[in-house]
Amino acid sequence: MSENKLRENICQFATSLFDRGITHGSTGNISVRLNDYEILVTPSGSSFGRLDPNDIVKISKSGEFSGALPPTKELPLHQAFYETRGLKSGAVVHLHSTHSVALSMLPEIDEDNVLPSYTPYSIMLLGKVKLLPFFVPGDPAMGDAIRGLAGKRSAVLLANHGPVVSGKDLEASVNAIEELEATAKLSLILKGMNVRSLNDNEISSVINKFNVDWE
């Protein structure tokens, strides 16, 4: 896909997320792998509802950027996914979506697997979602925390901050992060209820059928 088309796709997906209230204000950032040496990323302080393809920033492998605006301060998050997951990582999406952030603040959630196994789709699209600790936005230590996972997770939830998902391409990444937000919403709606989650056999059947990484 051409660079111009990728720039347009970033803006189109961002607008869709913004218009449906999945992100708000100037929160969230998106990047896409352009080639083995460069990525495209949304600029710092930009709103998903008002992105211009010409404002998308190009980042070299060495970290140099070209464009009129600086890249998102969360760039270390994105770079860490590309470095550790290789070609499995074609795009990265980070949001401050309400239900996911709320879930990250509950003391009883499983830090190794924050999402309950309510539906097969969260398992298929996300695998296990790791809760990472709180970092000040823009702290390079967030990238170090991602590197510490050694490429074994495609999705994480930053405590008191929001989800980050990396998929094979932009559409897959957006679909996955929307599934994460929807499952977080289900978790909050059903909190305290006697819920029937998928059992271990059902989870295993999904993992095996769809070749899900489940570590």
Catalytic residue among 3, 83, 118, 121: 121
Is residue 119 a part of any domain in this protein?
yes
Is residue 144 a part of any domain in this protein?
yes
Grouping H, G, I as helix, E, B as strand and the rest as coil, residue 187 is helix
Grouping H, G, I as helix, E, B as strand and the rest as coil, residue 71 is strand
Is residue 214 a part of any domain in this protein?
no
Domains contained in the chain, number: 1
pLDDT mean over 64-86: 92
Give the confidence band of 74 by pLDDT, cuts at 50, 70, 90. Answer: very high
pLDDT mean over 71-87: 95
Is residue 199 a part of any domain in this protein?
yes
- Lowest-confidence pick of 59-68, 192-201, 205-214: 59-68
Contact 39, 82 (CB under 8 A): yes
**Full domain range(s) for residue 81:** 3-209
- Burial (0-12, 13-18, 19+ Cβ within 10 Å), 21: exposed
Is residue 215 a part of any domain in this protein?
no
3 flagged as catalytic: no
Higher-confidence residue: 161 or 213? 161
Give the confidence band of 1 by pLDDT, cuts at 50, 70, 90. Answer: confident
Q: pLDDT averaged over the chain?
A: 96
Question: Considering the chain, what percentage of its residues have pLDDT values greater than 70?
Answer: 100
Is residue 146 a part of any domain in this protein?
yes
Catalytic residue among 74, 178, 179, 181: 74
Record the pTM.
0.96
Q: What is the CATH number of the domain that holds 85?
A: 3.40.225.10
The amino acid at 192 = G
Judged against a pLDDT cut of 90, whether residue 117 lies above it is answered with yes
108 flagged as catalytic: no
Is residue 150 a part of any domain in this protein?
yes
Rounded Cα–Cα distance for residues 56 and 49 (Å): 14
Is residue 123 a part of any domain in this protein?
yes
Query: What pLDDT is recorded for position 62?
Result: 80
Rounded Cα–Cα distance for residues 22 and 16 (Å): 9
Q: Closest Cα partner for 82 from 144, 156, 151, 172?
A: 151
Give the confidence band of 97 by pLDDT, cuts at 50, 70, 90. Answer: very high
pLDDT mean over 148-172: 97
